[in-house]
Each structure stands twice: as structure tokens, then as C-alpha cells.
Structure 1
Amino acid sequence: MTITEDPPPSGPPGLRDRLRGHSELGVSALLAAAGLLVVVDTLAESGGGTNDSDPLGPQLVPLVLGAALLLLAVLLTVDVLRGGRGEAEGGEDVDLNTPMDLRTVGSLAGVLIATAALIPVLGWPIAGTVLFFGATYALGSRTVARDLAIAAGVSLLTWVLFDAVLGVDLPGGPLMGVFG
């Protein structure tokens, strides 16, 4: 008794078959979505236009960036459909057969969510410390005192630079009375 294989389907290739090997189109779609979002949001929010002190108006930079993202999406799509492919990293030593470390990814996601929840309550200096220290811990560093000191210093420095130098009001939380 012999076993024969079924012949492959002879119909036209499906969408999945045509897109196989064209994963860069996903990046192109993300670029197009981001560009479209920037352009539409800028046009929807631009109330006022230009004035004498700023003849170009505040919407110029976002419109240029949105248009650049859309142009890059089109160029990448054309390149991929013509057979262009991204080069693999020559020196990369990542084993693609190794599964992702869900514990690390979950820890990093938890740190990001905790930071977002803590910023309005405790302010940026403390929430930023949680973010920077939590990320180093999740990624494997176990020098707690050093990492905590560096995280607090970076967080406090970024808060002072944004608040005092750039004029971007980040919430200070309990430190507002000390430094504000």
C-alpha cells in the first residue's frame, strides 16, 4: 500500500501567500497610519493659523512631519513590492528560535503602567524613579542601591530641565513644595 500526497491547490494564491516574505509592509502601514494621524490631528486642531510674530503658524512642523511619514510609507511600500528587503544584521547573535521572555516583557509592561498611574498622584520625580529603577530591575540588574540612586538622579534632573529650562510643566508631586 502506498501513500500519496495531495497535490497543492491550483487556484490563485491567497492574500497570505502573496504577502509571505513582505513583512516590511507592516512597517509601511504603521508609518502611513502615524502620518495620517499627525496630518488629520494637526488640521483638526489648528485653530487660529498664522499671526504677525509667527507667519508660518504652529501647524507647519507637524504637517511637514506627517507628510514625511506618508512619503516614507509610500516609498517603503514601493520598494518592498519591487522585491526590496531589509538586510539582516551581520553581527547579531540572537537565536530566533528562542521564545520571548514573557516574565521580562510583563515586568516592563507593569512598570510602564505603574508609572502612568503614579505620575498624576506622586509627580514625575518619584514616578520617573519607579520607571527607571523598575526597568533596570526587570532587565536583570540587581545592584539596588546604585540603580535606585541613578534612577532618582536622572528623574530629578529631567524634571528640573523640563520644568525650569524648557518650560514644560511636569507634575512635581510632593517635591513641588521642596523645589518649586
Structure 2
Amino acid sequence: MSDTTPDRTHTDTAAQDVETQGGDRAQYGMCAALAGLGIILLVNSAQLAPVASTNDSLGPKVIPTVLGILLLITSVFYAVDIHRGGVGAADEGEDVDLSAKADWKTVGLLVVIFAASAAFMEPLGWVIAGTLLFSGSAYALGNRHVIRGLLVGLAISLATFYAFAIGLGVNLPAGILQGIL
């Protein structure tokens, strides 16, 4: 049971390979995405109408503006680090087999479960749709205890329903359980 794949996580060859190729283009894409998100935040915060209030001296523009500026600064520092040959360290605690193929059946099942719960949210309500979402996701990810999955999904859905309703004052759709919950 020996692995013949060479371990490149503790050598400088991975960094040298990326450096000779002109940097990792995928990482530059992440820099562009961060910069784009920062620009979107800055543009949208500039379009906010000024609010004159004695209770709020800062107004609604401050936080998105600060976050937009911080995202732009982060993307610049990240791009400089990539250009200098910075390579992220490999995750040492993960036991992911990089040579294994993607499990598209599980991904497809999760997409179907998510879409179904979104479609059933209004007619059935959050508690039933959430129960299907949580228990269906657990099933798709390998849980074969259907009854236990449904009970845990129901508990999570009820807990989040009441946490939103009582704790935050946000009413999630009750659907067919209107008047019962």
C-alpha cells in the first residue's frame, strides 16, 4: 500500500513550476473576481440616496464603501503575491484523492433536491420544504437512515422557522401549515 505519486507539497518545485509559467492564471481570476466585487460594492454604495437622520450619523454608505475598498486592496496584494510566486500550502488534513473522478450523481441529486425545495417553499412552507432539503441532502451525501434523516430535518426546519420568527422577526412562509405553526 505505498503511494508512488511524488509528494510536491513540501518542495519548492511546485512554486518554481508556477513561477516559470508566469503565475497561476486561476489565482489571477480570483483576484479579478475580488476586484470586481469591490467595484460593484463601490458603485452600488455611490448610488445610495443620502439619509439624513439624527440617530445614524454614518448612514448606509459607509459599510459597503469600506468593504469595497478593502476588497480592492486585498485583490491588489493577492495579485502581487501571485506574481512573486506565492503558492498556497496544500491542505495537510484532507484525505482527498485528486485522481478520483467527480461524483456527478451526488452533485446532480443535490441540485435536484435544492431546486425542489425552492419550488415547494411557497406552497408547502419552510418547515416541509426545509425538512425535504435537509433530509434529502443527507441522503444524497450517504445517510441511509431515512426516518432519522427526516426527523433531524424536521427538527432543524422547525428550529430555524422559530428562530427567524421569534429571534429575528422575519416570517418564513408557513404554506399549508399556516395557522398550525
TM-score range, shorter chain: 0.7 to 0.9
Q: Secondary structure at the match of 1:68?
A: helix
Counterpart Cα distance in 1 of 2:62 and 2:169: 21
- What is the percent sequence identity of the aligned residues? 42
State which of 35, 43, 58 in structure 2 corresponds to 1:32: 35
Q: Give the partner amino acid of 1:110.
A: V
Structure 1 residues 34 and 126: alpha-carbon distance in aligned structure 2, compared to 1, 3 A threshold: farther
**What residue ranges of structure 1 are gaps of 5+ in the alignment?**
1-16
State which of 172, 175, 179 in structure 2 corresponds to 1:173: 175
Stretches (4+) displaced over 6 A: none
**What residue ranges of structure 2 are gaps of 5+ in the alignment?**
1-19
Query: Taking structure 2 as the reference length, what is the TM-score of the superposition?
Result: 0.79
State which of 45, 49, 52 in structure 1 corresponds to 2:51: 49
Q: How far does residue 152 in structure 1 lie from its aligned partner after superposition?
A: 0.9
Q: How far does residue 22 in structure 1 lie from its aligned partner after superposition?
A: 3.9
Structure 1 residues 111 and 65: alpha-carbon distance in aligned structure 2, compared to 1, 3 A threshold: farther
Q: How far does residue 29 in structure 1 lie from its aligned partner after superposition?
A: 2.2
Counterpart Cα distance in 1 of 2:171 and 2:88: 41
Q: Secondary structure at the match of 2:109?
A: helix
Counterpart Cα distance in 1 of 2:50 and 2:121: 32
Query: For the Cα contact (< 8 Å) 1:22–1:80, is it kept in 2?
Result: no
Query: For the Cα contact (< 8 Å) 1:50–1:56, is it kept in 2?
Result: no
Query: Taking structure 1 as the reference length, what is the TM-score of the superposition?
Result: 0.79
Q: Secondary structure at the match of 1:177?
A: coil
RMSD (Å), alpha carbons: 2.0
How do 1:31-110 residues align onto structure 2 when only pairs under 5 Å count? 31-44=34-47, 46-110=48-112
Q: Secondary structure at the match of 1:178?
A: coil
Higher mean displacement: 119-128 or 17-26: 17-26
Q: Give the partner amino acid of 2:27.
A: E
Structure 1 residues 81 and 107: alpha-carbon distance in aligned structure 2, compared to 1, 3 A threshold: same
Partner residue, 2:17: none
